[in-house]
């Protein structure tokens, strides 16, 4: 974490905003599918997983705003796979010298209550934990307030959270669009994040996951993304996803806080490092054009 003059750490929201300004609003998902390992000529085992993931970090570290390793593809290889995730997080952190490093968002979608949520927070958000990147995705089926232990530890350590809010899969409607007294679940999640991020400059550290291809769902659920004042992690920006007009509809005035997530679109260009860099640069430019005009 970056030390500040006061002895604390620069909050995740500020660090991410700086990284997006420098490298463009792109997060490269590290999703080591079996099919991608094969396409890169690697074996579908722990050695292939390790080679794949570290090649991505090596090629793109310091050149994109953020990495988003997907925990499931590491857990698929058991505890040894999780050991590779620890290596990936450490390697990404090592790109950070000089202030232009690439942040790491661990996409694990954890969620529980009480001391169990506290244990997940210690795993993914505590200084010194080998699984702690710069931010963690979390799931609020047990209510936004169930995430409190994660919010508290993230705040203390200068880390961030991305809370599942509105996703682009059609099955998500039955939960995310459901209402209490006329207010949708998605709108409630956004309102909780807004409270935590109030007054933060340039933006707070409690973000949301909002699919870029959800069409009019933000309006339909009454979700106020501008008020969130936090980062919006958005799969589906550009290429086969949402274009400029759709993004304007979905995110409106919150477009400047959107971090576009791309996985296969960049990774399929590998394993050649220069091809990966070119693909990431093109994706970042596309995201900049679509989100920052």
* Residues near its own copies (CB under 8 A): 31, 33, 70, 72-73, 75-80, 82-83, 85-86, 109-117, 119-120, 122-124, 129-131, 139-146, 164, 167, 169-180, 184-185, 188
Of 198, 247, 253, 265, the residue nearest 225 (C-alpha): 253
Judged by beta carbon, residue 11 or residue 32, the one nearer its own copies is 32
Identity of the residue, 122 or 224, whose beta carbon is nearer to its own copies in the bound complex: 122
CA 207 to chain centre: 9
Q: Smallest gap, in angstroms, from Cβ of residue 135 to its own copies?
A: 17
CA pair distance 246, 212, nearest whole angstrom: 8
Among residues 167 and 250, whose Cβ is nearest to its own copies? 167
Residues serving a catalytic function are 109
Nearest to its own copies of 14, 132 (CB atom): 132
Angle at 88 between CA 87 and CA 89, to 5 degrees: 90
User: How near is the Cβ of 79 to its own copies at its closest, in Å?
Assistant: 4
Q: What is the DSSP string of 243-284?
A: -HHHHHHHHGGGGGGEEEEESHHHHTT-SSHHHHHHHHHHHH
Fill in the DSSP letter of residue 70: B
CB of 148 to its own copies, least distance (A): 8
Nearest distance in Å: CB 218, its own copies: 17
Q: Which residue has the tokens 């690439």?
A: 102
What torsion, rounded to 10 degrees, do the Cα atoms 6, 7, 11, 17 define? 70
């Amino acid at each position: 974490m970056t030390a500040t003059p006061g002895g604390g750490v620069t909050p995740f929201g500020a660090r991410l905003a700086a990284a997006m300004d420098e490298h463009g609003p792109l997060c490269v998902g590290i999703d080591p599918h079996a099919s991608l390992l094969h396409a890169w000529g690697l074996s579908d085992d722990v050695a292939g997983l390790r080679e794949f993931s570290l090649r991505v970090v090596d090629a793109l570290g310091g050149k994109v705003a953020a990495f988003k390793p997907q925990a499931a593809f590491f857990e698929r290889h058991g505890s040894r796979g999780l050991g590779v995730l620890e290596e990936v997080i450490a390697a990404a952190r090592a790109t950070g010298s000089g202030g232009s490093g690439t942040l790491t968002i661990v996409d694990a979608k954890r969620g529980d209550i009480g001391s169990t949520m506290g244990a997940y927070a210690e795993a993914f958000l505590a200084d010194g934990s080998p699984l702690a990147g710069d931010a963690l995705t979390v799931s609020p089926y047990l209510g936004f307030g169930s995430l409190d232990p994660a919010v508290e530890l993230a705040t203390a350590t200068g880390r961030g959270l991305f809370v599942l809010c509105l996703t682009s899969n059609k099955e998500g409607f039955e939960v995310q669009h459901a209402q209490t007294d006329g207010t949708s679940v998605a709108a409630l999640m956004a309102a909780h994040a807004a409270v935590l991020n109030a007054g933060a400059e340039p933006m707070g550290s409690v973000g949301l996951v909002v699919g870029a291809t959800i069409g009019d769902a933000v309006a339909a659920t009454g979700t106020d993304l501008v008020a969130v004042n936090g980062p919006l992690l958005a799969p589906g920006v550009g290429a086969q996803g949402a274009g400029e007009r759709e993004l304007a509809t979905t995110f409106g005035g919150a477009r400047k806080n959107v971090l576009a997530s791309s996985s296969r679109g960049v990774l399929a260009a590998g394993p050649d490092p220069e091809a990966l860099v070119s693909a990431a640069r093109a994706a970042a430019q596309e995201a900049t054009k679509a989100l920052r005009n």
